[in-house]
Structure 1
């Protein structure tokens, strides 16, 4: 299934192409306990996914925890174009610059992580006239605006959590 985008590129779940999107996938164990926490990447205008996958490493088209299960499609027209650049070019150069910066950073799960990498790219492009993007804001907005790529994406995100909650409820019922 593909969805049209204003820049001519299309979302293609089979090929993992998400132009101008923030993408998200669950992190085993961590997402099972807190389904709103996961791994995030940002895609170029052609849909190539970049994600801060670990210390001093930004991957390209190979997300650290598997294929995206959610995506949040952003409007490339909300990019503040740099002098002499089309917003599409600004988007791509800012994703590149953020990726190059994060290739030189240590990964910190709580403070400087994949969400921070995406936030830096959005801050560099001054997306939606803002330079106050951060990991908490992106986590919250992905929860609200993120769309699941499929029913399987939804289940991969929520099923482990629901099984654990169901088991906990069953134990409470048995022991009360």
Structure 2
């Protein structure tokens, strides 16, 4: 499938993001550190799966609201859409048996496991939560301007208050 046809397949209004990693802000935490948020992965039909909590995989119900960012991955020739979907299913099966740990074994780790399971080409050092965090930060796309505002707006407002308060004294 060419990149152009995949881009057309993204349907933000229905939350369908085929072959994508998706991201949304975490209330409170993202307000202070805007590149930290909740991550999930979509199958070839665009249905989102996320490690929503201990022993829990969300399917088509993203845990912290609708995605505000996405990163569509290109399928290398050696990976079919069936292999992609199998990798997502395998990663989800593993994480349905895991306790959630915000710092060490979290939604980003789940996405990394799915990518490893499908054999998606690995970056140097393999897929992990740190790499995925910065991959989304630098290569991800906002779904729309509202997604941008939901991600960066609270941070900017907080910084403006801090700066104003600092200069008032």
TM range (shorter): over 0.9
Aligned-pair Cα RMSD in Å: 1.5
The gaps in structure 1 that reach 5 residues or longer are: 82-86
Asked if 2 retains the 8 angstrom alpha-carbon contact of 1:4 and 1:11, the reply is no
Return the match for 2:86 from 89, 93, 99: 93
Q: How far apart are residue 95 of structure 1 and its match?
A: 0.1
Q: Which has more helix, going by share of residues?
A: 2
Aligned partner of 1:66 in structure 2 is 65
Could you state the TM-score of these two structures normalised by the residue count of structure 1?
0.90
The gaps in structure 2 that reach 5 residues or longer are: none
What is the CA–CA distance in structure 2 between the aligned matches of 1:119 and 1:46, rounded to whole Å? Answer: 19
Helix, strand or coil for the counterpart of 1:128? coil
* 1:143-167 per-position Cα deviation (integer Å, ceiling 9, x unaligned): 0110000000000000000000000
Write out aligned runs for 1:1-176 (5 A).
4-5=5-6, 10-77=9-76, 80-81=78-79, 87-129=80-122, 132-175=126-169
Q: How far apart are residue 72 of structure 1 and its match?
A: 0.1
Could you state the TM-score of these two structures normalised by the residue count of structure 2?
0.93
Runs of 4+ in 1 over 3 A off after TM superposition: none
